[in-house]
């Protein structure tokens, strides 16, 4: 079987492309317990080692997709500490900033308003991420 571009993946198996007689070059993962000859040939060809993705890129991509309703966000905050919901209202946030947080249709993780809100609550980036993960998991 003709193959090219062997590379180890995160699961320890080998990804490559095989030349299918009808479809041409198609992606294929060689399972550890199947195709022993193809696996041996791929190993002999010297597959490219697996490189774990850069976590900062992964987290940045995840943050771009994080959003929730204010209701979900406040319920998530409540799971953490109900006092936080009341405490932030007594912070240095302006009236307009408080209205934005309360009245927004959507809280977007990467917005400046959420960054300021997190700052007022002394949340780290990781805590803010966790808040959004929790909020996004709440069905309303």
Provide the whole-model pTM.
0.57
Distance separating alpha carbons of residues 44 and 14, to the nearest angstrom? 12
State whether residue 67 is helix, strand or coil.
Answer: strand
pLDDT in tens, 18-77: 999 998 999 999 887 777 888 889 889 999 999 887 777 788 889 999 999 988 988 888
Q: How far is CA 106 from CA 90, 93, 131, in A?
A: 22, 19, 14
pLDDT given for residue 20 in this prediction = 92
Q: Where are the domains of the chain?
A: 3-45, 56-136
Contact 59, 19 (CB under 8 A): no
**β-strands 3-8, 14-20: how paired?**
antiparallel
pLDDT in tens, 98-125: 777 778 889 999 998 889 888 888 889 9
Where does the pLDDT of residue 90 fall: very low under 50, low under 70, confident under 90, or very high at 90 and above? low
Distance separating alpha carbons of residues 25 and 110, to the nearest angstrom? 40
Contact 128, 118 (CB under 8 A): yes
Distance separating alpha carbons of residues 13 and 21, to the nearest angstrom? 24
Where does the pLDDT of residue 136 fall: very low under 50, low under 70, confident under 90, or very high at 90 and above? very high
């Amino acid at each position: 079987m003709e193959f090219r571009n062997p590379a180890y993946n995160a699961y320890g198996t080998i990804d490559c492309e095989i030349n299918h007689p009808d479809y041409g070059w198609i992606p294929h993962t060689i399972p550890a317990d199947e195709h022993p000859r193809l696996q041996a040939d791929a190993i002999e060809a010297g597959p490219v080692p697996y490189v774990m993705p850069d976590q900062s890129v992964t987290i940045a991509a995840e943050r771009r997709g994080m959003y929730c309703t204010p209701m979900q966000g406040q319920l998530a905050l409540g799971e953490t500490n109900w006092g936080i919901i009341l405490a932030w209202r007594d912070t240095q946030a302006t009236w307009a900033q408080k209205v934005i947080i309360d009245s927004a249709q959507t809280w977007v993780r990467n917005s400046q308003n959420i960054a300021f809100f997190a700052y007022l609550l002394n949340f780290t980036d990781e805590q803010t991420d966790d808040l959004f993960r929790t909020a996004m998991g709440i069905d309303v």
